[in-house]
Amino acid sequence: MKQSDLPRCPTCGNMPEYSLKPNHLGWVWGGIRCPYDHYSVKLSGPASSRTKAEETLAPLWIEQVEKANREKTE
Protein backbone atom coordinates (compact mmCIF):
# COMPACT_ATOMS: atom_id res chain seq x y z
CA MET A 1 0.00 0.00 0.00
CA LYS A 2 1.36 3.40 -0.93
CA GLN A 3 2.03 5.89 1.82
CA SER A 4 -0.50 8.30 0.32
CA ASP A 5 -3.24 5.63 0.54
CA LEU A 6 -2.91 5.28 4.32
CA PRO A 7 -5.27 7.15 6.65
CA ARG A 8 -3.85 10.29 8.19
CA CYS A 9 -2.97 10.74 11.85
CA PRO A 10 -6.20 11.35 13.81
CA THR A 11 -4.49 13.91 16.08
CA CYS A 12 -2.64 16.19 13.65
CA GLY A 13 -3.92 15.11 10.22
CA ASN A 14 -0.46 14.50 8.78
CA MET A 15 0.39 11.63 6.47
CA PRO A 16 2.20 8.77 8.24
CA GLU A 17 5.70 7.82 7.19
CA TYR A 18 7.44 4.49 6.92
CA SER A 19 10.56 4.18 9.02
CA LEU A 20 12.16 1.03 7.65
CA LYS A 21 15.82 0.06 7.65
CA PRO A 22 17.47 -3.06 6.26
CA ASN A 23 20.28 -4.66 8.24
CA HIS A 24 23.43 -6.18 6.76
CA LEU A 25 21.66 -9.53 6.19
CA GLY A 26 18.84 -7.94 4.18
CA TRP A 27 16.16 -8.19 6.88
CA VAL A 28 13.98 -5.11 7.24
CA TRP A 29 13.18 -3.62 10.65
CA GLY A 30 11.11 -0.61 11.64
CA GLY A 31 7.57 0.66 11.60
CA ILE A 32 5.17 3.34 10.47
CA ARG A 33 4.48 6.47 12.46
CA CYS A 34 3.03 9.93 12.56
CA PRO A 35 5.79 12.49 11.89
CA TYR A 36 5.05 14.03 15.31
CA ASP A 37 5.00 10.67 17.12
CA HIS A 38 1.31 10.77 18.04
CA TYR A 39 0.82 7.17 16.88
CA SER A 40 3.10 4.41 15.64
CA VAL A 41 3.15 0.71 14.91
CA LYS A 42 6.27 -1.43 14.72
CA LEU A 43 7.14 -4.77 13.22
CA SER A 44 7.17 -7.53 15.82
CA GLY A 45 10.09 -9.14 14.00
CA PRO A 46 12.13 -8.64 10.85
CA ALA A 47 10.53 -8.76 7.41
CA SER A 48 12.19 -10.35 4.40
CA SER A 49 11.75 -7.22 2.24
CA ARG A 50 10.50 -3.64 2.34
CA THR A 51 7.38 -4.66 0.42
CA LYS A 52 6.58 -7.40 2.93
CA ALA A 53 7.13 -4.95 5.81
CA GLU A 54 4.73 -2.43 4.23
CA GLU A 55 2.13 -5.19 3.66
CA THR A 56 2.38 -6.14 7.34
CA LEU A 57 2.33 -2.61 8.73
CA ALA A 58 -0.47 -1.04 6.66
CA PRO A 59 -3.34 -3.04 8.25
CA LEU A 60 -1.90 -2.41 11.72
CA TRP A 61 -1.78 1.34 11.06
CA ILE A 62 -5.33 1.38 9.69
CA GLU A 63 -6.58 -0.54 12.73
CA GLN A 64 -4.84 1.84 15.14
CA VAL A 65 -6.23 4.94 13.40
CA GLU A 66 -9.76 3.48 13.40
CA LYS A 67 -9.46 2.68 17.10
CA ALA A 68 -8.27 6.22 17.85
CA ASN A 69 -11.15 7.69 15.86
CA ARG A 70 -13.67 5.51 17.74
CA GLU A 71 -12.24 6.66 21.07
CA LYS A 72 -12.54 10.29 19.98
CA THR A 73 -16.25 9.92 19.21
CA GLU A 74 -17.12 8.15 22.47
Give tens-digit pLDDT for 16-30: 999 999 999 999 999
Number of other CB atoms surrounding residue 14 within 10 Å: 12
Say what the pLDDT of residue 74 is. 77
Range of the domain at 38: 3-73
Domain count, the chain: 1
What is the C-alpha radius of gyration for the chain, rounded to an integer number of angstroms?
13
pTM of this structure: 0.91
**Residues of the chain scoring pLDDT < 50:** none
What's residue 1's pLDDT? 80
Alpha helices in 1-74 (DSSP H): 50-73
